[in-house]
Structure 1
Amino acid sequence: MRKRSFPPVVDQRTRLLILGSLPGEQSLAAGRYYANPRNQFWALVGDAIGVDLPALDYDARLRTLLDHKIGLWDSVGEAARVGSLDSRIRDHAPNDLATLAADLPSLRAIAFNGGKSAAIGTKALAGLSENIALVTLPSSSPAHAVPLSNKALEWRRIRQFLEII
């Protein structure tokens, strides 16, 4: 079965674009990024920006990301996948990341949420301006069994692109 990513969440202020791989089953069913309550994305980004994102409703989370100059999208535009694991992504087509990046005048960095997103996204961004940093972060997925505290240390690296002291 073909799965498709959601539209990007960005605006002209976006300085950091965080790219997942492809929404999982719970996210696709809910029509929301990172809807699986076991996925640590909202906690990790919230920790990095100093906001309790898990306590907010979904629309407020997205507004808060944009207010902090963070955009959200996926490296994979569509793919065949059974279940939610990145390792099961087959026959993928990447999103047009280079065009989106070129349309974001304030963009300073692209952060990949996990290795699969980085592997696909890096290829899709070949030739991107060297003024835009590419950062690979540990996956927020519950399948990536690393303690939250360890992931949080790595995810705090995004602060440098957001002017958070």
Structure 2
Amino acid sequence: MAARLTSLAAVIAPDSRLLVLGSMPGAASLAAQQYYAHPRNAFWPIMGQLFGFAADLPYPERLTQLRARGIGLWDVLQSCERQGSLDSTIRAEQPNDFASLLQQQPGIRALAFNGAKAAQSFRKMVLPSLQTQPIPILLNLPSTSPAHASVSRTDKLAAWAEVLTHLD
């Protein structure tokens, strides 16, 4: 039987303008209680290249770098059942409370989905409940996961550069 997993808390500043959303942290991230903790995940190297900081800074300093640029981190799912770390094994999904978050964070202008599963779950389970609120721009970006190896890091970096246009 698959374990019931709970996502990490949102990392967000009062002036955040962009929220990067994964589906559910993988086993390495949950064990470390850090977003994108798997050593082969391209998220931190990509953020470091885009924003000019070292990807190997201590985790709290990496979070500070993102918050200083108006970027928050969270997951679409609050909890789910999953064996291992693959999105394809996610079952019994429960979404996070985006209606409350977006009311509390009115400066968020864009949501950047880190992979197809995050975007799919958001559109299916969250978007219908937000119809009475202004919807931020939705950016579908390639997963930074090492499991998504069909897209090169160079191509991922080029796609993720789109977030820069939503931070002005």
Q: TM-score range by the shorter chain?
A: over 0.9
Q: Residue 127 of structure 2 is aligned with which of 122, 125, 128?
A: 125
Give the match for residue 141 of structure 2: 137
In the TM superposition, what is the alpha-carbon distance from 1:47 to its structure 2 partner? 2.1
Q: 2: distance between equivalents of 1:63 and 1:122? A: 29
In the TM superposition, what is the alpha-carbon distance from 1:49 to its structure 2 partner? 2.1
State the one-letter code of the partner of 2:118: S
Overall identity of the aligned pairs, in %: 45
1:125–1:46 Cα change, 3 Å: farther
Give the RMSD, CA atoms, in angstroms.
1.1
Q: 2: distance between equivalents of 1:59 and 1:12? A: 17
- Extract unaligned runs of 5+ from structure 1: none
Q: 2: distance between equivalents of 1:8 and 1:23? A: 12
The DSSP-based 3-state class of the residue aligned with 1:33 is coil
Q: Residue 160 of structure 1 is aligned with which of 151, 160, 165?
A: 165
Task: Please give the residue correspondences for 1:10-159 in structure 2 after superposition, counting only pairs within 5 Å.
Answer: 10-52=12-54, 54-123=55-124, 124-126=126-128, 127=131, 128-130=133-135, 132-145=136-149, 146-159=151-164
- Extract unaligned runs of 5+ from structure 2: none
In the TM superposition, what is the alpha-carbon distance from 1:45 to its structure 2 partner? 1.9
- Normalising to structure 1: TM-score of the pair? 0.93
State the one-letter code of the partner of 2:157: A
